[in-house]
């Protein structure tokens, strides 16, 4: 099978699975909203304070929800032996990995962008800050998906799941968190934030080039 | 390159080599550490501004430098493990990671003790402090991942892959933290502006740096030997070793 055929077959299959198992994409989304509404409850719902901390909490909630959504990414294929078959059939595994990640982004990244107008209402964001939130989410969530897929692949056959995945991958999220929340902050003050977006895009390109191969390697060593 | 590495790739041979190195390095490490610390803490003149509290530099700076040095050597081992598929290089990662994590912790704690009298605070969200803290998180990730698998081999391989990914990310994390810091609080940078150091203070510091390097190398040899024995415990040469008590004690 060619690379494109493997990609399309995996991508279609995963989208079909998502359409049937709705909790796979609904749960991360509601997790995101619940975490976001915890902050005003914990800190106090003063509009000025909320507006000030909004960039940070939006991004922390987003990266946690993508991280938790990614844990099941390869689990099912690992348990029922699909991965083993793929490895031994010598199919282009990076294409499979990319398709998996693309489908995963549709499940955990895309919904966040779709509900982002709600955030603007909840946290009292200005129009320019809202545009920056959407722009950073568009560029940043694919990067989150890539990195958390790497974590999911590394910890695939480990005894301890969720916490380990978070421990391993969260430090790698730090640059994205810094630049994304800085971009939203700049936008809230009406300053240009093109530089931050460019850096996020550069990080995304780098990750897109390297991560599929690292994931491929991690999957292979877990399948053994 | 492979020809040069090849003799060390054999666990039994590496066990002997590490033993020989350890016998040389360990006494040297303790000796230089003793000289450096006694000289630095006891006999250097007090700083004109910071008084006696600056003396912690003799532990703080070497620990901080070699916490990063340990991560680089771990990354080199990971590279060797991934490219040439050498098992002992994977074991070396497990040997180095806890030492590096300890050095990072020492650097953070001594920095905190130094910061309290100097800046009036135990912790400052400064670029260097934050980077060092994140380095600790990276070490913890590697150690946690290595110990998370029922199959030891998989854990070693996963940890070496993570160490490689970490070293690609480390510069990105470092510069983004620095950038974040200059954005939020530019003033604290000047706190780090180093006055040129007097030779009478420099020498003990250099000796301490050497001592920490030697200690890192010696402890790595020790831990790597233990790892080799653990991994190879079913091999005949390890059994022979266990039956000869005089040789095993070295």
Q: What band does B186 get if pLDDT is binned at 50, 70 and 90?
A: very low
User: Closest-CA residue in chain A for B156?
Assistant: A221
Instruction: Give the residue numbers spanning the domain of A80.
Output: 3-223
- Mean pLDDT calculated for residue range A42-58: 85
Q: What Å distances lie between residue B56 and A193, B43, B115, CA to CA? A: 42, 13, 10
Residues of B in contact with A164 (CB under 8 A): 144-145, 148
ipTM of the prediction greater than 0.90, yes or no? no
d(CA B53, CA B139): 29
pLDDT in tens, A166-199: 899 999 999 999 899 889 988 888 888 888 999 9
pLDDT in tens, B214-245: 999 999 999 999 988 888 888 888 888 877 76
With beta carbons less than 8 A apart as the criterion, state whether B22 and B228 touch. no
The pLDDT of residue B137: 93
> Is the C-alpha dihedral spanning B213, B216, B220, B221 positive or negative?
positive
| Among A64, A73, A60, A58, CA closest to A106 | A73
The SS3 assignment for A192 reads coil
Mean pLDDT over the full length of chain B: 82
Of B137, B141, B176, the CB nearest to A178: B176
Residues of B in contact with A217 (CB under 8 A): 82, 161
Of A7-16, B11-20, B43-52, the one with minimum mean pLDDT is B43-52
pLDDT in tens, B123-153: 878 778 888 899 999 999 999 998 888 888 8
B171 touches chain A (CB under 8 A): no
The pLDDT of residue B188: 40
With beta carbons less than 8 A apart as the criterion, state whether B237 and B88 touch. no
Per-residue b/e over B24-39, b at no fewer than 16 CB within 10 Å?
Answer: ebbeebeebbeebbeb
pLDDT in tens, A199-208: 999 999 999 9
Per-residue b/e over B66-98, b at no fewer than 16 CB within 10 Å?
Answer: bbbbbbebbbbbbebbbeeebbbbbbbbbbbbb
Q: Which residues are paired to B47 by β-bridges?
A: B51
Of B144, B165, B176, the CB nearest to A179: B176
The pLDDT of residue B233: 82
Q: Which helix (H) or strand (E) holds B234?
A: none
Left (φ > 0), alpha (ψ -120 to 50) or beta: where does B151 sit?
beta
With beta carbons less than 8 A apart as the criterion, state whether A73 and A152 touch. yes
What angle do the packed helices B152-184 and A162-188 form, to 10 degrees? 20
Of A168, A174, A222, the CB nearest to B141: A168
CB contact under 8 A, B165 and A203: no
Of B145, B176, B183, the CB nearest to A154: B145
Q: How many separate domains does chain A show? A: 1
pTM for the structure as a whole: 0.86
The SS3 assignment for B153 reads helix
Residues of B in contact with A170 (CB under 8 A): 137
B172 touches chain A (CB under 8 A): yes
Q: What Å distances lie between residue A24 and A9, A105, A161, B173, CA to CA? A: 20, 12, 17, 31
B248 touches chain A (CB under 8 A): no
The SS3 assignment for A222 reads helix
**Which of the given ranges, A83-87, B74-78, B152-156, B242-246, has the highest pLDDT on average?**
B74-78
Taking a contact as any Cβ pair under 8 Å apart, which residues of chain A between 149 and 188 contact chain B? 150, 154-155, 157-160, 164, 167-172, 174-175, 178-179, 182
B82 touches chain A (CB under 8 A): yes
B156 Cβ neighbours under 8 A, 6+ residues apart: B81, B87, B90, B91, B93, B94, B146
A190 burial class (0-12, 13-18, 19+ CB within 10 angstroms)? exposed
Tokens of A116: 């982002």
With beta carbons less than 8 A apart as the criterion, state whether B58 and B204 touch. yes
User: Closest-CA residue in chain B for A169?
Assistant: B141
Residues of B in contact with A224 (CB under 8 A): 151, 154
> Length of chain B in residues, anyone?
250
């Amino acid at each position: 099978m060619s690379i494109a055929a493997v990609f399309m077959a995996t991508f279609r299959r995963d989208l079909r699975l998502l359409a049937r198992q709705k909790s796979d994409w609904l749960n991360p989304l509601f997790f995101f909203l619940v975490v976001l509404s915890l902050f005003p409850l914990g800190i106090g719902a003063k509009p000025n304070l909320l507006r000030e901390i909004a960039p940070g909490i939006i991004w922390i909630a987003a990266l946690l929800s993508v991280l938790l959504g990614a844990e099941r990414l390869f689990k099912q294929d690992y348990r029922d032996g699909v991965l083993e078959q793929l490895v031994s059939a010598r199919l282009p595994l990076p294409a499979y990995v990319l398709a998996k990640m693309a489908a995963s982004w549709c499940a955990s990244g895309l919904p966040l962008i779709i509900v982002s107008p709600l955030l603007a209402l909840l946290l009292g964001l200005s129009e320019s800050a809202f545009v920056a939130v959407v722009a950073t989410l568009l560029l940043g969530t694919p990067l989150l998906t890539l990195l958390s897929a790497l974590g999911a692949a590394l910890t695939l056959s480990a005894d301890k799941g969720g916490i380990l995945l978070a421990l391993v991958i969260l430090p790698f999220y730090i640059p994205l968190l810094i630049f994304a929340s800085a971009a939203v902050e700049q936008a809230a003050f009406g300053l240009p934030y093109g530089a931050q977006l460019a850096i996020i895009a550069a990080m995304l390109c780098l990750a897109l080039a390297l991560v599929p191969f690292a994931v491929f390697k991690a999957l292979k060593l877990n399948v053994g | 390159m492979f020809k040069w590495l090849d003799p060390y790739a054999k666990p039994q041979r590496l066990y002997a080599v590490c033993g020989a190195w350890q016998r040389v390095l360990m006494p040297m490490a303790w000796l230089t550490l003793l000289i450096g610390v006694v000289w630095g803490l006891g006999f250097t003149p007090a700083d004109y501004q910071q008084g006696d509290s600056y003396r912690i530099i003799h532990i703080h700076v070497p620990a901080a430098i070699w916490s990063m040095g340990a991560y680089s050597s771990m990354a080199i081992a990971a590279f060797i493990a991934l490219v040439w598929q050498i098992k002992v290089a994977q074991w070396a990662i497990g040997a180095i990671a806890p030492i590096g994590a300890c050095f990072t912790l020492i650097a953070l704690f001594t920095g905190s003790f130094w910061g309290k009298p100097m800046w009036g605070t135990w912790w400052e969200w400064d670029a260097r402090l934050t980077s060092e803290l994140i380095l600790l998180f990276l070490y913890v990730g590697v150690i946690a991942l290595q110990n998370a698998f029922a199959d030891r081999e998989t854990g070693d391989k996963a940890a070496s892959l993570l160490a490689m990914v970490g070293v690609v990310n480390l510069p990105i994390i470092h510069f983004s933290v620095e950038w974040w810091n200059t954005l939020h609080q530019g003033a604290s940078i000047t706190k780090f502006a180093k006055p040129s150091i007097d030779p009478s203070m420099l020498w003990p510091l250099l000796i301490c740096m050497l001592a920490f390097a030697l200690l890192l190398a010696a402890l790595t040899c020790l831990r790597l030997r233990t790892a080799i024995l653990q991994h190879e415990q079913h091999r005949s040469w390890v059994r022979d070793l266990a039956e000869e008590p005089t040789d095993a004690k070295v």
